[in-house]
Amino acid sequence: MDARYHVEITRQALAGHLDEAALHVVVRANLGQDRLTKLVGHPEIHFDDSAFAAGEAYIADQRRQAVAALERNDRTAALAAFGRLLHGRQDFYAHSNWVALWVASRGGLAHCSPDQVEICLDPRLVPQLISGVGVPWHFIAVRVPLLGRLARRTLIPADSHEAMNLDHPGRGPLFPFAMAAALQHSRLELELLLSSLRAAGTAMILIDDSLSAP
């Protein structure tokens, strides 16, 4: 998912829970997942290559890191771990065929809308679920001036990341569904983290209680 949409989703999901300084930490960690060193060889970070089990394990590990950081009173490290977690959760909906499967199950685009989209609670349990295979030369080929569109039509396999992704509005009518699902699941991830923190007695260290909705 393109950076601006990660930012938009994250800010919407966390509005009313974190002050601006904390939001900045979360957003920066989220966007840091798209550094080259995090893109190459790390499909679990972005739910690429159908690495669903590894992706879920990565998210669970980042959640544990956030809890552990707050137990040692390191709010910045906890916020950063949460930002990394959110990046993967948001990428899942842009990089997999989840929303395509969901829309098809509802009879097509004419019979559903983004505000109705459901989230995927466990991608490991969805038989037809796949996500695009990331190949560096595919990434380069579709971005060559004048030749990129031809490369996308003739050279890029249907199961590649470049063919499947819903990273921005130009990828077609399923993009708003990916955005809506990613936002919904980002909010759920906040609830899950806070639930873990409440059990440890550290929830109020993470969020700004004065900003939280009653």
Mean per-residue pLDDT, 112-141: 86
- Give the pLDDT of residue 154: 63
Mean per-residue pLDDT, 10-16: 95
**pLDDT tens digits for range 37-90:** 887 789 999 999 999 999 999 999 999 999 999 888 899 999 999 999 999 999
- Give the pLDDT of residue 88: 97
Residue 133 phi/psi, 5-degree rounding, is: -80, 125
Mean per-residue pLDDT, 203-212: 57
* Crossing angle of the two packed helices 98-105 and 175-200, in degrees rounded to 10: 110
**pLDDT tens digits for range 148-194:** 666 566 666 778 887 899 999 999 999 999 999 999 999 999 999 98
- Give the pLDDT of residue 170: 93
CA dist 13 and 138 (Å) reads: 32
Q: Which of 133, 189, 176 is nearest to 158 (CA)?
A: 133
pTM: 0.89
